[in-house]
Structure 1
Amino acid sequence: MALTAVEHTPAATAFVDRHVGPRGREVDAMLEAVGYESLDALIDAAVPASIRTGRPLDLPAARSEEQVLAALRTIAGRNRVMTQMIGQGYSDTVTPPVIRRNVLESPAWYTAYTPYQPEISQGRLEALLNFQTMVSDLTGLDVANASLLDEATAVAEAVALMWRAQKGRAGTVVLDSELFAQSVAVTLGRAEAVGLPVVVADLSDGLPEVEGDLIGVVLQQVGASGVVRDLAPLVAQAKERGATVTVAADLLALTLLTSPGELGADVAVGSAQRFGVPLFGGGPHAAFMAVRTGLERTLPGRLVGVSIDADGAPAYRLALQTREQHIRREKATSNICTAQALLAIVASMYAVYHGPDGLRLIAERVHERAVGLAARLRALGVTVEHATFFDTVRVALPGGARAVVAAAAERGVNLWAPDADHVQVACDEATTEEHVERVVQAFAAVVVPPDAIRTPAHETPDPALPAWARRTSPYLQHPVFHLHRSETAMLRYLRRLSDKDLALDRTMIPLGSCTMKLNATVEMEPISWPEFASIHPFAPADQVQGYAQLVGELQEWLAEITGYAAVSVQPNAGSQGELAGLQAIHAYHRANGQPERDVCLIPASAHGTNAASAALAGLRVVVVATAPDGSIDLDDLRAKLEQHGPRVAAIMITYPSTHGVYEEGVRDVCDLVHDAGGQVYIDGANLNALVGLARPGELGGDVSHLNLHKTFCIPHGGGGPGVGPVAVAAHLAPYLPADPTPGAATTTGAPPVSAAPWGSAGILPISWAYVALMGGPGLRLATETAVLAANYLATRLTEHFPVLYTGPDGLVAHECILDLREITKRTGVTAEDVAKRLMDYGFHAPTLSFPVAGTLMVEPTESEDLAELDRFVEALVAIKGEIDQVEQGVLAVEDSPLRHAPHTAASVSRDEWTHGYGREAAAFPVPSLRAGKYWPPVRRIDGARGDRQLVCSCPPVEAYA
């Protein structure tokens, strides 16, 4: 291990006790309910001996919170905080303290889950709608999503969208050579996987002739070289040739520059990072995509829309749910599942905080700094290449670029040298006159004799942009971008929104396959330290030794936990980890002379992103049936292998299965696929049931992705950030994602999957801290307690809601599926009714109708103590009593608290009350709610209406009257 193990002291074990909810007598009571004398006995019965690992986790001993923070301080100290003027899609920015403290660092925001239950997500949905409105206004396009992962993958998604928009025409997509290099690298890799012809071209002389039709063009409005060109002629040429046009844009620049929509573009993409989101070593950052009317139903990612609730009041929800991957599977247009909701919210609040005038003022200041810098560099006698630019000055300096960059670094400033003959200097919100002076001094040290350096001129150059570049249209006119100018008003707006939501800081979130566990404050604290937050992803290696150490140790620990040889943390979402794993498999087969292996076997019960990722990796999906007990049907697997054998590239399985059981035959599945020449991909979504007990790499897996936002405590953030590292056996290690850093040597056989070398590096300290705090025994205890908690709930609830699948001795793994289908047949009460009614009891619903329609999948995690588990049981037992009243004819289902749930404060305080049940039953169905009641802000939302009448930007204030 890279770190010296410390003694396993009482102080170290104290954190394990705080992370793991049940303790002492609580554990005894839970074991008694389940019917086992000890935790070891339960685990021996629940977890098949055939999958158990033969050795304990070889990890450093658990450390105390103080020791972990001290270790992270030392690691962070190895990163060198510089003035970052590299640019290339990443800019320093100032996060307003009121937003940093009350969004980025607030558990009310960062512990929230994806807003699949919209009635209890109205706050974050409103914030995301603000994001969509902001993007739509600035890009001049009709509909924007919320959100995507980074600019590079957004460009790749736009290329795929343009192919869909052209509906099967044969031809080529052209990428502007001014696109950021990381965007080109990611896009070419994605296009090659599915056989889409894409070329990169210098467009200074117009659009090139291509093979077949011109399908689409991607232009960079503020080029990688800093140049701002008149794109209107290129857009017109593309339109004349029947092409779809995407413009990669800079949101801050768009306060000054003509919008993509006004240029005639169909699609705009980019990053919202410079709207108050720290550099974070490359991420997490929210990307965006906006489209013209007519393309909204092909948008990848999530789309927030406006519908109405049961009282006719405006209410927000995720629109176009049929695009979600768990429904569309291999027909999905994207594998995006985790977006970057928390960072999109930060960016939206940055716009709310500054308003249109404040944003324009920041942009003008940035532009003026760049213009002033260019004038001073010209005065030194160097050549500034571009006459029109926004924030980046490009200087031609034959043979001298590296020397200038070194001279600037000595003065605490990072510049960018794309080659030996050019230097680029990117100004941003944080750039001061002092920074400009240091840059000038660095150039002067290389190109001018010291005694010839002139005093800076006092005249201010004219910063005006040419008429063709200047924006004249208004933006951000909605009142939300004008109302919150004082910090008091902003603080109250943020609090008002968070009060509408139900997050992990209020209640257990028992979501199957999602693992909503404690996101400890000590784990979260370091991400805001400048030594982690203020690092550019393309900073020189000698400045990021801290990140290199942290990433290296975390990858080493994850390899030990999973039983694989190598790990890459580059994938910045679980879906991207899936894609990276499948790309590694595909590359491995090609390298072994078997490119014809293009079939991916996927069980019917698998997560929907599995099939979507397989399709994006260029593989054909073949579904394998599920047996009645929820396991893979081995006979059907044998039949599919016999049918497709020589073409089988891989099988994707989830272990424990998506049905919440440890399958006895997992090794048989691996052996059958290996015998056919295929590889085994084990989805790591349920790794919280394995850590310390079994290793996917020892079960026969060749590759897995992990969800650091599930098992390893990175918070879900209302739908992101996430990190999805990919772990591989030794033979696949050469095919891990390549480094996307511009100019980096390609040392792997697979393309990059995100824009930054370490993906969302800024949140990796969270998982590093979790492993360091827990140690091997603590991680195993967490797994064992998660299994105990799931079996406790299954035991307590099965007489009320039968548990659908169980393993040996009637036990489940870390989650269980409650089957409501017979109840629905008898009473008409649906699983959705129960999910909505749980809101009245102050709970987020379990996973609804996945993997089996008409069921609820419950995962309690190890972090919930017995009192919270019992509160959940009390709520579901009380709801079953309400269902019994329907079945007995006491209440009609249409007039039951189940069908009318959730109940708002307004709905139960009206003068008129016509229901067959009382107000108290509606609002306070159990006495404990009187001590602390969460009131849903809206009643049940009309989802179908929201899809039919798609409204995806902030409605006028009159709509709320």
Structure 2
Amino acid sequence: MPLQNQTPLSTLEQKDAFIARHIGPSAAEQQAMLDELGVADLDQLITQTVPESIQVTSPIALDDSRTEDEVLAYLKSVAQKNKINTSMIGMGYTDTIVPNVILRNVLENPGWYTAYTPYQPEVSQGRLEAILNFQTMILDLTGLDLANASLLDEATAAAEAMTLCKRMSKAKKANTFLVDKNVHPQNISVIQTRAEPLGYDVVVGDVAELVDQYEFFGVLVQYPGTTGDINDYSALVEKVHAKKALFCAAADIMSLVLLKSPGELGADVVFGCAQRFGVPMGYGGPHAAYFATRDAYKRSVPGRIIGVSIDARGNKALRMAMQTREQHIRREKATSNICTAQVLLANMASFYAVYHGPDGLKTIAGRIHRLTDILAKGLQSKGVKLLNNSWFDTLTLEVDNAEAIYQTALDAGINLRKISNTQLGMTCDECTNREIINTLWNCILGEGHGLDIEAIDADLTANGSDSIPAALVRESAILQHPVFNSYHSETEMLRYLKKLENKDISLTHSMIALGSCTMKLNATAEMIPVTWPEFGQLHPFAPIDQAQGYKQLIDELEDQLKAITGFDAICMQPNSGAQGEYTGLLAIRKFHQSNGDHHRNICLIPTSAHGTNPASAALADMKVVLVSCDDKGNVDVADMRAKAEQHKDDLACLMITYPSTHGVYEESICEICDIIHENGGQVYMDGANLNAQVAVSQPAAIGADVSHMNLHKTFCIPHGGGGPGMGPIGVKAHLAPFVANHPVQPIEGPNPENGAVSAAPWGSASILPISWVYIALMGAKGLRAATENAILNANYLAKKLGEHYPVLYAGRNDRVAHECIIDIRPLKELSGITEEDVSKRLMDFGFHAPTMSFPVAGTLMIEPTESESKAELDRFIEAMVTIREEISQVQDGTMDAENNPLKHAPHTLEDLIDPNWDRPYSVAQAAFPVKRLKDSKIWPTVNRIDNVYGDRNLFCSCLPVEDYAE
């Protein structure tokens, strides 16, 4: 008898089981695709595809893969090293209660967090409506005309406000921006960082005095101020406008429920953070900033704007408005980087307002303010001096024993804000309660104080409070639209959320094959820690000894990323890829300045580069010089050398994407890096395509001096419908001193004098566990397998689609990297069918379109990622082949050139029930072009949207009540 179960324990433990769960193709599917490509195994494919000169010679120095249970148990032990005190630090971050219906059905729901940016609006109407609600909410609260779809954080919004003022102010000769000393310090730091390369002068002080001393193009105040005071700025606004400058206010969103809107005071720009509308503090993010301004400045608004248009049937439909402002079109003329949104978090904030409605928000804001009043009245009755005479939720105490009170509160589990040796700040929030107020009194006054909350509350009820000046009490209505007054029961709210979710395509439906966006699996195990309170409830400026779990997580993730990329140091602060580019370029700029090379400002950028590259270079005050590409999509090395030598005295850097945006590994990449270094420049490698490098090559070994890493692409942080993202940068040792630091929470390593680029010291820290878990689950072996399969899937698609469409570029041995570009232009010449027609027709097959007309107009860029199975790739191929057959029928005249399924795509249920259907093709062909759709059909909810109409009739808030009723 043979012995039973001879499998060794090490195999049965399945330590690397997650690898196969993350990678879509099974072993059999991998072999079938390899056979199709004519190669024996993945090693042979990599040898054929990746230049030998850049291949790593040994596995990356990472631990082996671990099981999901092991990884989560370990990370839980790390998280528990964070100490969660009651936070009263304030400074723009407060504790909040996330409604559970939003927590479970949005933040923890892949239907929301795996969706892509709504560039294809016909299959994005749900999140577009949620963002439109956000914009409407912001307009109501700020009293202004136009709001955008969110920005990265309040501090970067402050910097955007400054640059808008410079562009739009009529004080054209002025070069000074005035910032009130009562603005949050992180806002001031990011403003100063942005202003320096642009050559603006930032003056910080009492703006009421400064406006008489300077010529300036803009002014910024905090409303309420960082120490809590609420000022009537209407007279100051008149002074500012008299000097033809613009007035900006950074406003606390919850306070605006009770305070007169800044727009009513005359402000031109109002921005802030929406975090306290139901988004956890998360040690700094991600949170949605908001930004509102006057209609006259709409062409200069940073980021994205959602507008109302009409579809082909004349029905109202939503879309991203004024897309011509985007950096991939404006390039070095861009005024900001559009990769700056936090859509998932903006949606959460908008849903918070929808769920609570105006009355609920007034109750919450009123409770916060009443508890602050009670706290203040009690302290004042015992002779404690307050620095501020007015307040919404923040008090600043003037005391001799500030350090002792601070420590007593700390011992009682409360974090106060230590401003100076004689000043302490404390901010109430949605989670503040009677017990906390009593504890604070005990800490400040001693336990025998004799104060009674009920008595003070009764006195306030009888006599009122003047803590909000009468002239600044809000009288205007807020949130009157039906959407904010219809979904206050959990049943109704749940159904509303589900209705919107059902309008969108996400990774829960099908592959999203967007080139350079790497829409891979966001595994459940990776997402779970994000909502652990140990990570979610920590204030970004909490004492560092309370954040030891975060410190360990960040240190370990930095070590992982250093092992993967080969860099010597990591800067975690940038909270988007574009922000990472900007941060890296500033480091290069400071490095050159440290060597006395202040004149080095030339940035070489290939014409194939991401549009964010020239925009980031412009923000870093670099002059962009374009480098040509050859007809195979590679950088023209001769042109590169000529321009590097021409500008060698002024060369700052090269920005290059690797593999290239054309989807090929540049054979000459090492030579290119050498050319730049020989001429005194630095190499910035755009990390957007890092998914084709991990464990196969290393940016630092290739020759890069700095590179950003899109954690929301290669390392599995989900896209969230257009944000969040994280874009930390890796740098070689000589650049490490020059990366961002932070004024409130200094970071070890970089020069302490370096300013911040984001509001929080480690950016959007609460989503870093996602990438840490991914790397831990995959290990060195899994990460290499992921890269290999990304390359395998892309080459399989290129091979199969290449039988029907021209594949524009290929590298060595006719292989592509992790993505391929198919060229629709020859087909357009023969048939009139465009890349947009193909993209819209794909929706009828249940697929989101690939990247359209980038980096080459008239093309589609396709990236399947390693997470998609061969079966899913074959479904996509089937759709594309069917579409090609339809194009052929238009081409040969079998189908009408205009009245065909491609030109009318996508098709909706309204098309199917149209009694006047008179098209020369059947309803079945329109909606069910392949048999499998009868089992699982995703319906676009609107027909093709009229973009021109939307821009000519710009409307960027919820529809009027009359339209809503219809």
- Determine if the TM-score, normalized by the shorter chain, exceeds 0.5: yes
Say if 2:79 is the partner of 1:87.
no
Say if 2:636 is the partner of 1:633.
yes
* Alignment counterpart, residue 118 of structure 1, candidates 116, 121, 126: 121
Supply the RMSD in Å over aligned alpha carbons.
1.4
Where do 1:192-203 residues align within 5 Å?
Answer: 192-203=196-207
Tell me the residue number matched to 1:430: 431
* Alignment counterpart, residue 281 of structure 2, candidates 266, 273, 279: 279
Say if 2:22 is the partner of 1:19.
yes
Q: What amino acid does structure 2 have at the position aligned with 1:262? A: E
Tell me the residue number matched to 1:765: 769
Q: Would the aligned equivalents of 1:408 and 1:442 in 2 still touch at CA under 8 Å?
A: yes
Where do 1:290-369 residues align within 5 Å?
Answer: 290-369=292-371
* Alignment counterpart, residue 621 of structure 1, candidates 618, 621, 624: 624
Q: Secondary structure at the match of 2:373?
A: helix
Tell me the residue number matched to 2:493: 490
Say if 2:456 is the partner of 1:459.
yes
Say if 2:813 is the partner of 1:813.
no
Q: Would the aligned equivalents of 1:673 and 1:680 in 2 still touch at CA under 8 Å?
A: yes
Q: Would the aligned equivalents of 2:746 and 2:752 in 1 still touch at CA under 8 Å?
A: no
* Alignment counterpart, residue 924 of structure 1, candidates 921, 928, 946: 928
1:310 and 1:368 map into 2 onto residues whose CA distance is 52
Tell me the residue number matched to 2:478: 475
Deviation at 1:203, TM superposition (A): 3.0
- Cα gap change, 1:250 to 1:85, in 2 (>3 Å): same
Where do 1:905-916 residues align within 5 Å?
Answer: 905-916=909-920
2:168 and 2:536 map into 1 onto residues whose CA distance is 39
CA deviations over 1:447-484 (Å, ceiling 9, x no partner): xxx65665667132333422111111111111100011
Q: What amino acid does structure 2 have at the position aligned with 1:221? A: Y
- Cα gap change, 1:584 to 1:477, in 2 (>3 Å): same
Q: Would the aligned equivalents of 1:87 and 1:425 in 2 still touch at CA under 8 Å?
A: yes
CA deviations over 1:203-255 (Å, ceiling 9, x no partner): 35463412xx3211011111111111111121111111111111111111111
- Cα gap change, 1:56 to 1:363, in 2 (>3 Å): same
Tell me the residue number matched to 2:4: none
Q: Would the aligned equivalents of 2:746 and 2:761 in 1 still touch at CA under 8 Å?
A: no
1:638 and 1:596 map into 2 onto residues whose CA distance is 20
Q: Secondary structure at the match of 1:28?
A: helix
1:948 and 1:917 map into 2 onto residues whose CA distance is 33
Q: Would the aligned equivalents of 1:186 and 1:740 in 2 still touch at CA under 8 Å?
A: no
- Cα gap change, 1:660 to 1:405, in 2 (>3 Å): same
Where do 1:16-165 residues align within 5 Å?
Answer: 16-165=19-168
The more displaced of 216-225 and 228-237 is 228-237
2:424 and 2:207 map into 1 onto residues whose CA distance is 22
- Cα gap change, 1:37 to 1:661, in 2 (>3 Å): same
Q: Would the aligned equivalents of 2:308 and 2:318 in 1 still touch at CA under 8 Å?
A: yes
Deviation at 1:7, TM superposition (A): 8.0
Q: Secondary structure at the match of 1:459?
A: helix
1:293 and 1:459 map into 2 onto residues whose CA distance is 45
Deviation at 1:262, TM superposition (A): 0.4
* Alignment counterpart, residue 781 of structure 2, candidates 764, 777, 780: 777
Tell me the residue number matched to 2:5: none
Tell me the residue number matched to 2:731: 728
1:573 and 1:326 map into 2 onto residues whose CA distance is 16
- Cα gap change, 1:497 to 1:455, in 2 (>3 Å): closer
Residue identity over aligned pairs, in percent, reads: 54
Deviation at 1:959, TM superposition (A): 2.7
Tell me the residue number matched to 2:3: none
Q: Would the aligned equivalents of 1:583 and 1:750 in 2 still touch at CA under 8 Å?
A: no
Q: Would the aligned equivalents of 1:736 and 1:749 in 2 still touch at CA under 8 Å?
A: no
2:843 and 2:455 map into 1 onto residues whose CA distance is 64
CA deviations over 1:38-77 (Å, ceiling 9, x no partner): 1111111011101111221101111100001101100110
- Cα gap change, 1:251 to 1:454, in 2 (>3 Å): closer
1:545 and 1:880 map into 2 onto residues whose CA distance is 57
Where do 1:395-410 residues align within 5 Å?
Answer: 395-398=397-400, 400-410=401-411
Q: What amino acid does structure 1 have at the position aligned with 2:685? A: I
The more displaced of 852-861 and 746-755 is 746-755
Q: What amino acid does structure 2 have at the position aligned with 1:763? A: I
2:90 and 2:542 map into 1 onto residues whose CA distance is 10
Q: Would the aligned equivalents of 1:8 and 1:61 in 2 still touch at CA under 8 Å?
A: no
The more displaced of 739-748 and 290-299 is 739-748
Q: What amino acid does structure 1 have at the position aligned with 2:558? A: Q
Tell me the residue number matched to 2:6: none
Q: Secondary structure at the match of 2:474?
A: coil
Q: Secondary structure at the match of 1:818?
A: strand
Say if 2:231 is the partner of 1:234.
no
2:12 and 2:337 map into 1 onto residues whose CA distance is 44
The more displaced of 723-732 and 450-459 is 450-459
Q: Would the aligned equivalents of 1:682 and 1:704 in 2 still touch at CA under 8 Å?
A: yes
Q: Which runs of 5+ in 2 are unaligned?
A: 1-8
Say if 2:496 is the partner of 1:499.
no
Q: What amino acid does structure 2 have at the position aligned with 1:81? A: I
Say if 2:675 is the partner of 1:672.
yes
Tell me the residue number matched to 2:707: 704
1:955 and 1:720 map into 2 onto residues whose CA distance is 25
Tell me the residue number matched to 2:614: 611
Tell me the residue number matched to 1:3: none
Q: Would the aligned equivalents of 2:208 and 2:236 in 1 still touch at CA under 8 Å?
A: no
Deviation at 1:172, TM superposition (A): 1.1
Q: Would the aligned equivalents of 1:815 and 1:857 in 2 still touch at CA under 8 Å?
A: yes
Tell me the residue number matched to 1:586: 589
* Alignment counterpart, residue 850 of structure 1, candidates 849, 854, 857: 854
1:166 and 1:907 map into 2 onto residues whose CA distance is 49
Say if 2:693 is the partner of 1:685.
no
Tell me the residue number matched to 2:385: 383
1:247 and 1:850 map into 2 onto residues whose CA distance is 37
Deviation at 1:416, TM superposition (A): 0.5
2:357 and 2:438 map into 1 onto residues whose CA distance is 30
- Cα gap change, 1:592 to 1:749, in 2 (>3 Å): farther
- Cα gap change, 1:776 to 1:8, in 2 (>3 Å): farther
- Cα gap change, 1:388 to 1:640, in 2 (>3 Å): same
2:585 and 2:113 map into 1 onto residues whose CA distance is 30
Q: What amino acid does structure 1 have at the position aligned with 2:455? A: H
Say if 2:548 is the partner of 1:531.
no
Q: Secondary structure at the match of 2:648?
A: helix
Deviation at 1:750, TM superposition (A): 3.5
CA deviations over 1:412-447 (Å, ceiling 9, x no partner): 1111011111111100011001011111111124xx
CA deviations over 1:724-759 (Å, ceiling 9, x no partner): 001100100001111242688983464211000110
Q: Would the aligned equivalents of 2:232 and 2:265 in 1 still touch at CA under 8 Å?
A: no
Say if 2:568 is the partner of 1:572.
no
Q: What amino acid does structure 1 have at the position aligned with 2:309? A: S
TM-score between both structures, scaled by the size of structure 2: 0.97
Say if 2:892 is the partner of 1:891.
no
CA deviations over 1:305-359 (Å, ceiling 9, x no partner): 0000000000000000011111111111102314100000000000001111111
2:89 and 2:11 map into 1 onto residues whose CA distance is 44
Q: Would the aligned equivalents of 2:378 and 2:456 in 1 still touch at CA under 8 Å?
A: no
Deviation at 1:933, TM superposition (A): 0.3
TM-score between both structures, scaled by the size of structure 1: 0.97
Q: What amino acid does structure 1 have at the position aligned with 2:434? A: E
Q: Which runs of 5+ in 1 are unaligned?
A: 1-5
1:416 and 1:12 map into 2 onto residues whose CA distance is 45
